[in-house]
Structure 1
């Protein structure tokens, strides 16, 4: 554990995945980091929005934001191990606004993935923590 990790423990929030919760999550991430963090806020927003859209509104989630060395890791855990995120390339001419979130996330993060643990899955991403 680095000195920074000892000073700044992970942000952990358990809540239902509802649209009304997203602004509070973005605010909590900003307050936790105590600095502008648009990319972290984008990641939190997109990962929770994917749960709302693909698993179901009101699904209980755990959101975790932590410094891991020189990176910031964002994790969203939900109770549906079968509904997995799929990176799709949005057609520039498409009128639908859906399907772009994971592409945006993929563009700003160093890496992302999915971990399975029993009856849950965690979708995570890592960003440079500069």
Structure 2
């Protein structure tokens, strides 16, 4: 197997997770393994953190399963998290969360740490898929 990021081809993994409090932990561990095994250990920490934030949001604000897709295309790796809630998170809320707040920082971390990111609602898709997809990209190679 070719683990050299410069010569390895594109790849994709999908992880299905239930609406379960263990989902963020399972997603973190899976992402770390993918990034390390594919020769991107320098991106593993940030990918793990940002994925954990998105999967935690999926668990907190959705009442169904979620899926995590990790895809390398050329020099970039994109991580997408789909959940069943079509409502996109509010990003225009002024101010910072209180120092002792237990939530409110996840998307700000994604905005600050990812090379690019975005999200969109899924409604009336031909496959019957509804909900939302939030993604981020990190440079690789």
Normalising to structure 2: TM-score of the pair?
A: 0.75
Q: How many aligned positions are there?
A: 123
State yes or no: 1:29 paired with 2:31: yes
Aligned to 2:60: 53
For structure 2, the 5+ residue unaligned runs are 1-6
Could you tell me how far apart the structure 1 residues matched to 2:94 and 2:73 are? 29
For structure 1, the 5+ residue unaligned runs are none
State yes or no: 1:38 paired with 2:45: yes
Normalising to structure 1: TM-score of the pair?
A: 0.81
Bigger Rg over Cα: 2
Instruction: Mark the CA change 1:43 to 1:89 in structure 2 (over 3 Å): closer, same or farther.
Output: farther
| Match among 71, 79, 98 for residue 74 of structure 1 | 79
Instruction: Mark the CA change 1:85 to 1:92 in structure 2 (over 3 Å): closer, same or farther.
Output: closer
Could you tell me how far apart the structure 1 residues matched to 2:103 and 2:61 are? 12
Structure 1 vs Structure 2 CA RMSD: 2.1
Instruction: Mark the CA change 1:102 to 1:90 in structure 2 (over 3 Å): closer, same or farther.
Output: farther
